[in-house]
Structure 1
Amino acid sequence: MEFSEGLAIVGNGEQPYTKYGVIDKTGSFIISPKFDYIGNFSEGLAQIKLDDKYGFIDKTGKIVIQPQFDKVWSFRERLASVKVGSEWEVIDMTGNYIIKPQFSDLDCFNEGLAVVQVGGKYGFITNPITK
């Protein structure tokens, strides 16, 4: 994948890759290939997948938010949208819930707002930590 925050995600072996790791701009592994998926770094954290659950790692490969979610979006504005079961909610960078499950769809925050879906209708919510 392309470089993001000075790091790139790489897969081991041939496609389809079985495990993913992270290299720096010299091509050295920073995180050895051990995850089922790694997303690009955003705000110092990257999405990871292990055993069909998603969580987040820091740039050293340390799991900072345990894989426990069914789907996740990258951190933006210090918050990430995460899906548990059929509902989306919002967590902060330590994994604390900021907005409880209540949305059938929820996008990333951008410029203080995120698109949400409730009961087939769309709207916006404001970022509660940057109001």
Structure 2
Amino acid sequence: MDNKELFLPILRDGKYGFVDKEGNVIVRPKFKYVSERLKDGYSVITYIKKIRGINRWIFGYIDKLGNTKVYLHIDSISDFNEGLSRAKAYNKYGYLDKNLDLAIDFKYECAGDFSEGLANIKINKRWGYINSNGEVIIAPKYTYANQFKDNTSLVEYKNKYGYINRKGEFIIKPTYEIATDFSEGLAAVRNNNKWGYIDKYGKLKIDFKFDKAKPFSEGLAAVCINEKWGYINKNGDVVIDAIFDYACSFKEGLGRFNIDTNSLIRGINNNKCGKWGFINKSGDIEILPIYESLSDFKDGYSEIINGKNNNYIDKYGKLLL
């Protein structure tokens, strides 16, 4: 999103609204929930309304001008992806277009967001794919199917995970206990309770030796070794020691981490239990672990939540509000 039109959710006394990047209130806090920022011009909103004496969850959208459209018969909706929003009504899933009209009927048991022109949908307990016209492109036959990324999708078939192309053909046979999407040319996969990484040809590039593993992001991947988290490069070398109680993928040059009581991080003694902070790619702390809740950085800001209120910090740790 263009930073000139960046709008951030603000939480005050348990209700959400929006502020701009200067901290000015654009939409006053009045909603029970809003989705993360404004995507494709809209954000999902929810609130509780009494109808015929019964409290009901109401779902809808709000634009950057504060205009809203709500649906009394819809049970849930998602952000827009590739011009379509996933919605649930009458215990079935369908899709709305950018005019907020029904584009694909409510007929799926479950559904995912559109990615690379296809959406993963569930029919008769099996997953397949449709295009933006609602036409079935890959017949439902998988126990589970993820979204397409780089023309490849992760699927579960006969209790094992593998990868298919846009024709539904296996390009990597389902042989893994658990697997993740490909990211930066590699995918984390698990066999015999250990994680390693394969390339898009199915060749093992990093041995099965980690207790847990996350996808690569910005050249590094967070991995768990002996109950502690650190980071490896694409050669499988540990480049940031496994000293954290939890670590997340790098976003915008910074990695979010959690550290527990009395842990020592590069000479800084943190006496607070289970706090979050950020490190750079050298493993140096950029933002001290003093927060109970932090989001990854996006558009230059990380959200912090304290009870019924929130705020944002920039990459220097400066508060926005």
Aligned to 1:128: 282
Pair 1:21-2:166 in alignment? no
Partner of 2:185: 44
How far apart are residue 29 of structure 1 and its match?
1.2
Q: Distance in 1 between matches of 2:276 and 2:157?
A: 40
Instruction: Tell me the TM-score normalized by structure 1.
Output: 0.90
The Cα shift of 1:121 comes to 2.5
1:68 aligns to 2:213 (yes or no):
no
* Residue deviations 1:32-60 (CA, integer Å, cap 9, x gap): 11111121111011110101111111000
Task: Give 1:118 deviation, angstroms.
Answer: 2.1
Task: Find the counterpart in structure 2 of residue 8 from structure 1.
Answer: 153
Match of 2:200 in 1: 59
Q: 1:106 aligns with which of 238, 241, 247?
A: 247
Q: What is the rounded CA distance, in whole Å, between the counterparts of 1:69 and 1:109 in structure 2?
A: 18
| Structure 2 gap segments, 5+ residues each | 1-145, 261-273, 284-321
Structure 1: distance between partners of 2:258 and 2:168: 41
Q: Deviations over 1:79-101 (max 9, x none)?
A: 00000122101100110110112
Cα distance in structure 1, aligned partners of 2:258 and 2:179: 27
Contact 1:5–1:44 (CA under 8 A) maintained in structure 2: no
Q: What is the distance in 2 between the residues matched to 1:127 and 1:110? A: 11
3-state secondary structure, aligned to 1:40: coil
Give the fraction of aligned pairs with identical amino acids, expressed as a percent: 38
Question: In 1, distance between residues paired with 2:222 and 2:195?
Answer: 12
**If each structure's strand is expressed as a fraction of its own residues, which one has the higher value?**
2
Higher RCO structure (Cα 8 Å, ≥6 apart): 1
Separation of aligned partners in 2, 1:86 and 1:50: 18
Please list the CA deviations of residues 66-89 of structure 1 after superposition, one character each: whole Å capped at 9, or x if unmatched: 111111111000100000122101
- The code of the aligned residue for 1:39 comes to T
**How far is the alpha carbon of 1:128 from its aligned partner?**
2.9
- 1:97 maps to 2:238: yes
The structure 1 segments of at least 4 consecutive aligned residues displaced by more than 3 Å after TM superposition are: none
| 3-state SS in 2 of match to 1:109 | strand
1:34 aligns to 2:175 (yes or no): yes
* Whole-Å separation in 2 of the counterparts to 1:19 and 1:118: 34
SS at match of 2:249: coil
Q: 1:105 Cα shift?
A: 1.1
Asked whether the equivalents of residues 108 and 115 of structure 1 are also in contact (C-alpha less than 8 Å), the reply is yes
